[in-house]
């Protein structure tokens, strides 16, 4: 069964050409081949749910990473600048580490490779829509009465979580004892290692550049950051000091995945302190199978949070229709309401490729 397809964004990715125009990327019609479901592949086992140790991930970083800046216009209310590791730099690292095996599947011309790669190396339009929605309520990151947990499913480059992390660096002082926990999940562990984690280090380093000479010196060349042992140590110490935790999960959405994420320790909830949980997902419902699996996953997570007495919501950004593939935001809304959720549309993009962001809460 042939399972490679492309949504045909112009270039490799959302362009880094100043203020982001959300209608700029062109999306062509995908013509399905032998299957109406983009995922999984018959006879091919799905990746098992796995939690990755941050220390080990940090030890596997290259000595230097190159990056670009994506400027997101917050609908006239300022901008947020999100650093992203350059894909050409990922390719250079992989070529240097080449052991003669297969090339990394996510760095070809396809956006998704069925059952193998779920699009995580690229930044998608709906992730930017989520950033704009989150900007309207970012003040909760400075809350001193509730711990905050963010869970981003299908995170890829992690733009929504990255924006929250960046805002949290400014809004959270060292005296804030309520933890901020960010759980980042992508089907492919290589995406987490090669782009997700580096993007968070870049975000922290750019924030600390004016405060730390060690970090400032690490920006030895324009658009590059040296990942010296001192920089990596500073990153870890800063997270600990600000009670911010990052956790990484890979593998298919499943009951095992939900249990793994739910059992992850959340800092700043000692002594029975309650927390707020925000579940994020962008472009995760592009096929009927993905829609069903994603919906089951977020409602399992919402249910577990509700059972523990925690406030929880899910923010989902997606296209109104994924042409030829079968998924749609409207179908997700129908399923969410069938499961008893209160669903509110927070944003709609009517020009270009129609997209939206909805909020789901269990009553």
CA atoms of 291 and 335, how far apart (whole Å): 9
| Residue 3: pLDDT over 70 | no
**For residue 290, what pLDDT is reported?**
85
**For residue 145, what pLDDT is reported?**
84
| Residue 232: pLDDT over 80 | yes
Evaluate whether 60 touches 352 at the Cβ level (below 8 Å): no
> Is the peptide bond between 40 and the residue preceding it cis, with omega within 30 degrees of 0?
yes
Q: What is the pLDDT of residues 292-311, one digit of tens each?
A: 999 999 999 999 999 999 99
Please, which residues have CB within 8 angstroms of residue 92's CB and are 6 or more apart in sequence?
Answer: none
| Residue 98: pLDDT over 90 | no
**For residue 45, what pLDDT is reported?**
79
Q: How would you write the chain as a 3-class SS string?
A: CCCEECCCCCCCCCCCCCECCCCCCCCCCCCCCCCCCCCCCCCCCCCCCEEECHHHHHHCCCCEEEEEEEEEECCCCCEEEEEEECHHHHHHHHHHCCCCCCCCHHHCCCCEECCCECCCCCCCHHHHHHHHHHHCCHHHHHCCCCEEEEEEECCCCCHHHHHHHHHHHHHCCCCCCCCEEEEEEECCHHHHHHHHHHHHHHHHHHHHCCCCHHHHHHCCCCCEEECCHHHHHHHHHHHHHCCEEEEEEECCCCHHHHHHHHCCCCCCCHHHCCEEEEEEEECCCCCHHHHHHHHHHHHHHHHHHHHCCCEEEEEEEEECCCCCCCCCHHHHHHHHHHCCCEEEEEEEECCCCCEEEEEEECC
Please, which residues have CB within 8 angstroms of residue 168's CB and are 6 or more apart in sequence?
Answer: 141, 142, 180, 242, 244
**For residue 330, what pLDDT is reported?**
93
| Residue 59: pLDDT over 80 | yes
Evaluate whether 208 touches 235 at the Cβ level (below 8 Å): no
**For residue 201, what pLDDT is reported?**
98
| Residue 41: pLDDT over 80 | no
- Among the listed residues 175, 265, 190, 220, the one whose alpha carbon sits nearest the alpha carbon of residue 64: 220
**For residue 250, what pLDDT is reported?**
95
**For residue 327, what pLDDT is reported?**
80
**For residue 6, what pLDDT is reported?**
37
Evaluate whether 298 touches 314 at the Cβ level (below 8 Å): yes
**For residue 177, what pLDDT is reported?**
79
Evaluate whether 158 touches 48 at the Cβ level (below 8 Å): no
| Residue 134: pLDDT over 50 | yes
Other C-beta atoms closer than 10 Å to the C-beta of 358 total 22
Distances (CA, A) of 215 to 57, 133, 218: 20, 31, 5
**For residue 271, what pLDDT is reported?**
55
CA atoms of 124 and 356, how far apart (whole Å): 13
Mean pLDDT of the chain: 83
Tokens of 238: 């800063």
Pair type for strands 311-319 and 275-282: parallel
| Residue 30: pLDDT over 50 | no
1 vs 66, more confident: 66
The mean pLDDT value for 162-182 works out to 88
| Residue 267: pLDDT over 70 | no
- Among the listed residues 191, 289, 167, the one whose alpha carbon sits nearest the alpha carbon of residue 182: 167
213 vs 41, more confident: 213
| Residue 313: pLDDT over 60 | yes
| Residue 280: pLDDT over 70 | yes
| Residue 72: pLDDT over 60 | yes
Pair type for strands 112-113 and 4-5: antiparallel
Q: Confidence class of residue 52 from pLDDT cuts 50, 70 and 90?
A: very high
Other C-beta atoms closer than 10 Å to the C-beta of 97 total 10
CA atoms of 126 and 294, how far apart (whole Å): 16
**For residue 324, what pLDDT is reported?**
66
24 vs 101, more confident: 101
CA atoms of 16 and 12, how far apart (whole Å): 11
Evaluate whether 182 touches 245 at the Cβ level (below 8 Å): yes
- The vertex-54 CA angle with 125 and 211, nearest 5°, equals 75
CA atoms of 81 and 162, how far apart (whole Å): 10
Q: Determine which of 104-118, 211-225, 307-321 has the lowest per-residue pLDDT on average.
A: 104-118
**For residue 13, what pLDDT is reported?**
45
């Amino acid at each position: 069964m042939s399972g490679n397809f492309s949504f045909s964004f112009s270039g490799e990715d959302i362009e880094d050409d100043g203020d982001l125009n959300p209608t700029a990327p062109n999306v062509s019609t995908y013509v399905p081949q032998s299957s109406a479901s983009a995922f999984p592949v018959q006879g091919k086992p799905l990746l098992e749910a796995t939690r990755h140790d941050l220390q080990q991930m940090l030890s596997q970083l290259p000595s230097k990473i190159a990056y670009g800046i994506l400027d997101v216009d917050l609908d006239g209310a300022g901008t947020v600048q999100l650093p992203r590791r350059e894909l050409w730099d990922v390719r250079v690292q992989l070529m240097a580490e080449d052991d003669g095996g297969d090339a990394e599947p996510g760095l070809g011309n396809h956006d998704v490779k069925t059952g193998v790669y779920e699009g995580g190396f690229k930044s998608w339009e709906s992730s930017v829509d989520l950033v704009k929605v989150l900007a309207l309520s970012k003040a909760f990151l400075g809350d001193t009465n509730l711990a905050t947990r963010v869970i981003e499913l299908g995170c890829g480059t992690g733009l929504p979580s990255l924006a929250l992390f960046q805002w949290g660096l400014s809004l959270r002082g060292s005296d804030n004892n309520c933890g901020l926990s960010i759980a980042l999940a992508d089907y492919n562990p290589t995406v987490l290692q090669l782009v997700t984690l580096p993007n968070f280090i870049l975000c922290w380093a750019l924030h600390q550049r004016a405060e730390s000479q060690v970090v400032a010196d690490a920006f030895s060349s324009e658009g590059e950051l040296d990942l010296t042992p001192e920089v990596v140590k500073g990153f870890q110490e800063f997270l600990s000091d600000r009670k911010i935790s990052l956790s990484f999960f890979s593998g298919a959405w499943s009951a095992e995945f939900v249990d793994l994420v739910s059992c992850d320790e959340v800092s700043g909830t000692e002594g029975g302190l309650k927390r707020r949980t925000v579940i994020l997902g962008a472009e995760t419902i592009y096929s009927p199978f993905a829609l069903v699996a994603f919906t089951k996953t977020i409602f399992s997570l919402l249910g577990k949070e509700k059972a523990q007495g925690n406030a929880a919501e899910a923010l989902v950004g997606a296209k109104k229709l994924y042409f030829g593939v079968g998924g749609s935001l409207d179908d997700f809304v129908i399923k969410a309401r069938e499961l008893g959720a209160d669903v509110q549309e927070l944003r709609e993009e009517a020009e270009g490729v129609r997209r939206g962001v909805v909020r789901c809460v269990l009553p």
